[in-house]
Structure 1
């Protein structure tokens, strides 16, 4: 079995697949860069002079009204929500590779629009277009990584992906800090049933010498044929039509949405503005420290995730630390607002928060969204999970100005009371409902879900390698087997006629 080979071979042997994964993971850099830049711009006098208004009572002397602040920050996430929600269809008609190319063109267009405009409408349009592009980049790059990575290193691949998000955010923040001082794979995705010759060639490129490609192909054939017999049509309605797929869809969606439940978008999108309005030292320098620490946490996570990266333990620990730091931040500011001592405490707690989020939540939430979906529904399930995750992030960035803006409620750090409670609820959900699938192949995950294994028993469950027997009396004699469209190896499967023989298990 492929899983047995996984345990015997290390990164050195898997260098081809991991190199491709690292290259594709660069897609997330753009997303982080956009967040890093826009967060600092809202606290930059030059930007506020064009898109904001004078406000003598604020620390900067300038402010931006809550409505504009909402739209500037949230339109990118809204665009990402729209494009990621169509992932099932873009994967089917364009494939992973072409979707990434379309996204790159959108990035160029949106950047040109935002650089050329001094009108708020042009800025809104640019933010929406960059959001549409980022949704495609974030969704299809991760689908690519989930499906190309060996089971043992799937966590490593997603960890590198999230690392580039943080690096992009750091560079964006550094650019803002500098500006503020001046002014003030070829498609190596493994094809599915119907193109097994292509699949075999792709696997031989991806896998190391001595790897039993035949065994992995057999697992793929068995899984695909079984799923085709269970249900040949694929669409968003399919995600909820039977209890197994419904359970996997709900867990994938809630697992990925856990990122938004942590309140991270509040710190990421409004960190610099939040520091300025709370009168916390040099806001831009503090933001650089905050983001840089987060990058270091992600790099550390990439080094340990393969050996120690248990999903449940990491996420529960992360929500405990994030919730406690947000609560402490709110309490300190409530007792003694606006003082130098309080400012130092808030910066310190923010650093603790971002380290916990990047090291213990972010990577594992993305992993959950992709690896727990069934193979035939992965692009649809992950697209839906990503879309709802982006919606949660959008909701945070859209509503946060009402809480932190001095012209509205003016809560500032007291906004942490809300997110502390959210972290507690999410941590409890992880404990009861999130399965542990570290080092499991996608086929083994299918088997455990089909066997209806309770979430807390996944870790010790011993797979048989014959998970079709758990749902069918015999191996499938399928009249309908999913096959790839002619658009390329990254395409979503379509239905065609094929004969798949099998024997009684």
Structure 2
């Protein structure tokens, strides 16, 4: 019997991590760099005066008679929201690509799309600023990042040992944070320039992600699960040996047989459709994965990435870029803690703690800005502190863990589709946040200013309650063990402590309800034989 302890193995990362698994985890995530960079440089450039003057629709005549331009709320929201729509589309397409052409080849498609989008953006400033061409390029890039958002966590979940699966998928979040930090650093360095370098430099640096993919992806192995599913057993054997051969107790024939049994069970169900992700135990898993990803975004991370510079400016801070740069540096450092903490402490307790901290800090900002609409002095610093603590909590918990849970939760037969839909739910929610934020925040509309924090704090409360009732603890579980628990209808809040029989070979050859009945019948027959 396998029973999970309250805490994971503190030495798991040292024992399981080899140079090959490290290489795979790092260079599979180059597309995540593009995802983080795109969101952060866009949020930075929206607050840049020169960029606004070149691309903005609104005209204002100053006292000196000079006419300056700025982006309208429509431009701000549409530019950001259409990008989020591109990510959402890419997420759905990513499930199809990952299944049909493979996880690794999806990386190439993502890199090719990102390259095309960068070129469209770079040429938008030739002979004037064509804002909607710039947005078109952003949409293409965001579609590419949507492909990555589905394929990368899926790939990492299928190539990493169960005991460090959280650490492996954390690499995806860390590379996003590296991209965000790089973008804010670049925007800080070009902030005072008065020429096209304000946007051309970050657009050019954004090409580093796809270039790295084209350089390093040829050296990455394909997912062994995908290879077995497509009948490439010898290639799958070689990949398994390459990834896990360093482990003394590793038996490649046993592992390959285990995978074959899993895939045969999947194929015995016949061709799956999108409807299947809502049937039986798959429906519960889809509900958890999509809900978790949607609530990640509903707590305001898209606002933090796209509008935080404007938010700080509305609060009266003149050094918004410097503040954002410090925040991103801290986020990068704290994101790295997820290499250890989510496989040790578990997914569920960290999400509960993070959600509680995020709720309290945003509600506190809302209260302060209700009493002092433009807080100055100690009150302004207090708002800054709470925003900082929100980002600390998010980076340590909600930034990475939803991706881990969404990748490990689905059953094999619909893993790509479930992960695609959950990623879509995240960015569809982000699209709504991006679309409504300027209208909620800016003068001339709802004019909430800092009181917009009430919205994010409220969703933080909802997210914390939701995790308590619906998110199971899956640290250290193999993907087959997770399937076993859902098919046996183990209560969600008991999955972290449930004992698993030593033999957990796949049993999913019939719909979930029939599986349970068949197993119960078999156990009854065995009891008769014993008697």
TM-score (norm: length of structure 2): 0.83
Change (3 A) 1:26 1:88: closer
Q: Is residue 2:29 matched to residue 1:25? A: yes
Q: Which runs of 4+ in 1 moved over 6 A?
A: 1-4, 6-9
Change (3 A) 1:455 1:209: closer
Change (3 A) 1:142 1:224: same
User: Who is 2:392 aligned against?
Assistant: 355
Whether the 8 Å CA contact 2:169–2:403 is kept in 1: the answer is yes
Q: 1:450 aligns with which of 467, 487, 490?
A: 487
Q: 1:305 Cα deviation (Å)?
A: 3.1
User: Who is 2:510 aligned against?
Assistant: none
How far apart, in 1, do the equivalents of 2:295 and 2:306 lie?
17
Q: What SS class does the counterpart of residue 192 from structure 2 fall into?
A: helix
How far apart, in 2, do the equivalents of 1:10 and 1:43 lie?
41
Q: 1:198 aligns with which of 235, 239, 250?
A: 235
Counterparts of 1:169-180 in structure 2 under 5 Å? Answer: 169-180=180-191
Give 5+ residue unaligned stretches, structure 2: 63-67, 199-218, 508-514, 520-528
Q: Is residue 2:152 matched to residue 1:111? A: no
Q: 1:277 Cα deviation (Å)?
A: 2.1
User: Who is 1:186 aligned against?
Assistant: 220
Q: 1:182 Cα deviation (Å)?
A: 2.9
* More off after superposition, 374-383 vs 215-224: 215-224
Q: Is residue 2:149 matched to residue 1:135? A: no
Whether the 8 Å CA contact 1:277–1:406 is kept in 2: the answer is no
Deviations 1:199-227 (A, max 9, x none): 22110000024212233223323333333
How far apart, in 2, do the equivalents of 1:172 and 1:102 lie?
23
Q: 1:164 aligns with which of 146, 169, 175?
A: 175
Counterparts of 1:346-495 in structure 2 under 5 Å? Answer: 346-464=383-501, 465-466=503-504, 468=506, 471=516, 473=518
Whether the 8 Å CA contact 1:252–1:372 is kept in 2: the answer is yes
Counterparts of 1:287-302 in structure 2 under 5 Å? Answer: 287-302=324-339
Q: 1:259 Cα deviation (Å)?
A: 1.2
Deviations 1:334-372 (A, max 9, x none): 111223223212211111000101101111111111110
User: Who is 1:75 aligned against?
Assistant: 82
Q: 2:263 aligns with which of 224, 230, 251?
A: 224
How far apart, in 2, do the equivalents of 1:442 and 1:393 lie?
29
Q: Is residue 2:328 matched to residue 1:285? A: no
Counterparts of 1:30-45 in structure 2 under 5 Å? Answer: 30-45=34-49
Whether the 8 Å CA contact 1:219–1:443 is kept in 2: the answer is no
* More off after superposition, 253-262 vs 138-147: 253-262
Q: What SS class does the counterpart of residue 234 from structure 1 fall into?
A: coil
User: Who is 1:237 aligned against?
Assistant: 275
Measured on the aligned residues, the alpha-carbon RMSD in Å equals 2.6
Q: 1:467 Cα deviation (Å)?
A: 5.8
Q: Is residue 2:68 matched to residue 1:64? A: no
Deviations 1:177-213 (A, max 9, x none): 1111334952331122433322221100000242122
How far apart, in 2, do the equivalents of 1:223 and 1:315 lie?
30
Equivalent pairs, count: 471
* More off after superposition, 387-396 vs 206-215: 206-215
How far apart, in 2, do the equivalents of 1:293 and 1:174 lie?
13
How far apart, in 2, do the equivalents of 1:187 and 1:206 lie?
9
TM-score (norm: length of structure 1): 0.88
User: Who is 2:93 aligned against?
Assistant: 86
Q: What SS class does the counterpart of residue 429 from structure 2 fall into?
A: helix
Whether the 8 Å CA contact 2:342–2:401 is kept in 1: the answer is no
Q: 1:99 aligns with which of 75, 82, 106?
A: 106
How far apart, in 1, do the equivalents of 2:172 and 2:2 lie?
24
Whether the 8 Å CA contact 2:289–2:406 is kept in 1: the answer is yes
Q: 1:12 Cα deviation (Å)?
A: 5.1
* More off after superposition, 244-253 vs 436-445: 244-253
Give 5+ residue unaligned stretches, structure 1: 475-503
Whether the 8 Å CA contact 1:29–1:166 is kept in 2: the answer is yes
Q: 1:55 Cα deviation (Å)?
A: 4.8
Q: 1:103 Cα deviation (Å)?
A: 1.3
Change (3 A) 1:56 1:402: farther
Q: 1:144 aligns with which of 155, 173, 179?
A: 155
Q: What SS class does the counterpart of residue 362 from structure 1 fall into?
A: coil
How far apart, in 2, do the equivalents of 1:373 and 1:92 lie?
15
Q: Is residue 2:17 matched to residue 1:14? A: yes
